[in-house]
Amino acid sequence: MPSRRARIKDIAELAGVSIGTVDRVLHDRGEVAEKTRDNILQIVKDLEYSPNVIARALKSRKKFRFVSLLPEPTDDSAFWIKHPEGIMKAMNELEPFPIAFSQVTFDLLDEKDFQKKSEKVFDLDPDGVILAPIFKTQATAFCNKLTKNGIPFVFIDGYLEDTDFLSYTGEDIFQSGRVAGQLVDMVTPADKDILIINIARNLMNVHHLNKRMQGFMSYFPHSGRNKGDLISMNIEDPVPLAITAELKRVLRINPGIGAIFVTGSKSYKIADCLESEGINSVNLIGYDLLDRNVYHLKSGRIRFLIGQRPDEQTYKGVRKLFDYLSMDKVPDKMEYLPVDVVTSENVQFFI
């Protein structure tokens, strides 16, 4: 091990060439005699040379251009407001480096818009892309195009196995369902029934929600104490009146329900109904720390929320792109973030 970090200059001296030549070899810019090249490469290896990122960043006016392609946060998809925060945090930390960031958003309910916006991403001529692959078909096409153009990309929120992504940062969806199952099992009397509610206006998110539901249900046969029934229902039109009617109907038919698991981030809609109906006896558990969920968590209407660290997903995604581009650091392909168990007593630390 060299006592001091090797520099290009050291390599050049050992090889008996100029630093320009060494640089050409290091950057594969060709125009170097094969013999010289091999010799230099050997020395590089011997010296365990790695470039000084600081010097590189200082010099190269080469500005990395990053682009994010994420859903537009709206009143009805408030989950996505946290993601930009992680991006800002990463940008802040990387502020001394020459980086530009563009955020492109698309309509969560509109595949066509995704496609249109993904074209816009290309127009921005990115060096790296971070995206949530909500629409499988369109996202796959987009990712393949990125790969063809040699542009690295990272996934958050979900991933597409058949694409050449650099890394995924997010939830282990199935396992997070299991955690929900365990929590419900712990706080609900063993003879009570459990209601699983999916709220999905369209089929797009079904993969996500289905997988959580599978994880949830997988907990009970072997690990759970609960002996009641698992009942599942779908709400397509999440309008308060419709939800209330449907919920009342199901609860009337199944008077033994002791817990409700909402597979997505809209548990507050269920809590709203329970509140207006004056139903206090069920354990409600849902996902994500939206303001409206947190409100019900604090009031006791929701017992647990499961958090998936949306801001950490984007933060890490950006860092991985940067580390990869500026230092050739290849990240782990899959990084599952912790499944956070949030109650009224520890929620303050998560928001």
Where along the sequence are the contacts to DNA (CB under 7 A)? 5, 7-9, 16-21, 23-24, 26-27, 30-34, 36-37, 51-52, 55-56, 58-62
Q: Is 298 in the site for a copy of itself (CB under 8 A)?
A: no
Q: For DNA, which is the closer residue by CB, 1 or 241?
A: 1
CB of 14 to DNA, least distance (A): 12
The three-class DSSP label of residue 264 is: coil
CB of 22 to DNA, least distance (A): 8
CB of 100 to DNA, least distance (A): 15
Site for a copy of itself (CB under 8 A): which residue of 77, 103, 205, 344?
Answer: 344
Helix axes 111-123, 136-148, angle to 10 degrees: 10
CB of 349 to a copy of itself, least distance (A): 4
CB of 50 to DNA, least distance (A): 7
Q: For a copy of itself, which is the closer residue by CB, 69 or 312?
A: 312
**Among a copy of itself, DNA, none, residue 31 binds (CB under 5-8 Å by kind):** DNA
Q: Could you tell me the two tokens for 106? A: 């698309």
Q: Which stretch binds a copy of itself (CB under 8 A): 104-112, 180-188, 273-281, 284-292?
A: 180-188
CB of 162 to a copy of itself, least distance (A): 26
**Among a copy of itself, DNA, none, residue 342 binds (CB under 5-8 Å by kind):** a copy of itself
Q: For DNA, which is the closer residue by CB, 7 or 298?
A: 7
| Long-range Cβ contact pairs of 207-214 (< 8 A, separation 24 or more) | 207/136, 207/158, 208/158, 208/173, 208/264, 209/263, 209/264, 211/173, 211/174, 211/177, 212/173, 212/174, 212/176, 212/177, 212/180, 212/263, 212/287, 213/177, 213/263, 214/174, 214/177
Distances (CA, A) of 109 to 10, 43, 225: 57, 55, 39
Distance CA 305, CA 300 (A): 11
Distance CA 308, CA 20 (A): 48
Residue with tokens 């947190």: 294
Q: Is 187 in the site for a copy of itself (CB under 8 A)?
A: yes
Does residue 313 contact residue 155 with C-beta atoms inside 8 Å?
A: no
Q: For a copy of itself, which is the closer residue by CB, 18 or 343?
A: 343
Q: Could you tell me the two tokens for 323? A: 């580390």
Distance CA 235, CA 238 (A): 6
Question: Contact residues for a copy of itself (CB under 8 A)?
Answer: 52-55, 57-58, 96-97, 172, 175-176, 178-179, 181-183, 186-187, 219, 303, 336-346, 348-350
